[in-house]
Chains A and B, each alone.
Chain A
Amino acid sequence: DGGITQSPKYLFRKEGQNVTLSCEQNLNHDAMYWYRQDPGQGLRLIYYSQIVNDFQKGDIAEGYSVSREKKESFPLTVTSAQKNPTAFYLCASKKGAAGQETQYFGPGTRLLVL
């Protein structure tokens, strides 16, 4: 089945540690996105990528980094510079064609700080 997978489902981070969240899609979508969700808030955009080897900062990119070496994969690294990383992280993708505006989401990763 086509879809978006995220792993792990739960992730624990120690102080000063970098952690990487995985996002993979087999929908042949060009664009991919990372969002952060905090309680009582909507989704906030961290980074997005429209094509391979290219990505742009979203609204809250500080303390995060991404790469897009393959069309199918868009991993997110939460660095030690992110002082409040505890949140739910959602990855999304969409087709690149004009008019294909709907984003489809993965199941999410819950990140907790020890």
Chain B
Amino acid sequence: AQTVTQSQPEMSVQEAETVTLSCTYDTSESDYYLFWYKQPPSRQMILVIRQEAYKQQNATENRFSVNFQKAAKSFSLKISDSQLGDAAMYFCAYKPGGYQKVTFGTGTKLQVIP
């Protein structure tokens, strides 16, 4: 069974600094997708970034980037120049290609300190 592990229940970062959230996953599939979702206090789940396993290049979206280590099954999220609006729960998620089910981690609560 696929599992997604987020080992940091809570993290904090100073405004304008950089923070990295960790995620590891377990799979025997070769075709899959990885996602980071943000859930602010409004509880709306918002896609932050996604990575296709077949792509070697790490995905980036403005201040958000990932470090995808396929062999190590690691998918960390780096947030640069942290802003107060980045404070939220962040969920790592895994989806095998061709299947409908997405497996979510338990989340990391990020606090941004002014």
Binding site for B on A (CB under 8 A): 31, 33, 40-45, 48, 50, 56, 58-59, 88, 90, 92, 98, 101-108
Contacts and interface: CB of A to CB of B under 8 A. Distances in A.
Contact of A102 (B47, B100, B103): B47
A59 B50 CA distance: 24
B35 A58 contact: no
Given A88-B43, A101-B95, A107-B43, A50 B100 contact: yes
Interface centre among A33, A101, A104 (most CB of B within 10 A): A101
Nearest to A56: B100
Contacts of B105: 42
Interface of B: 4, 33, 35, 37, 42-47, 50, 91, 95, 97-98, 100-107
B104 A43 contact: yes
A42 B45 contact: no
A95 B33 CA distance: 15
Given A43-B91, A102-B33, A102-B47, 9 more contacts: A31-B100, A40-B106, A41-B106, A42-B105, A42-B106, A48-B101, A58-B101, A102-B50, A105-B45
A27 to B, nearest CB: 13
9 contacts: A41-B106, A42-B105, A44-B104, A48-B100, A48-B101, A56-B100, A90-B45, A107-B43, A107-B44
Given A31-B100, A40-B106, A43-B104, A105 B91 contact: no
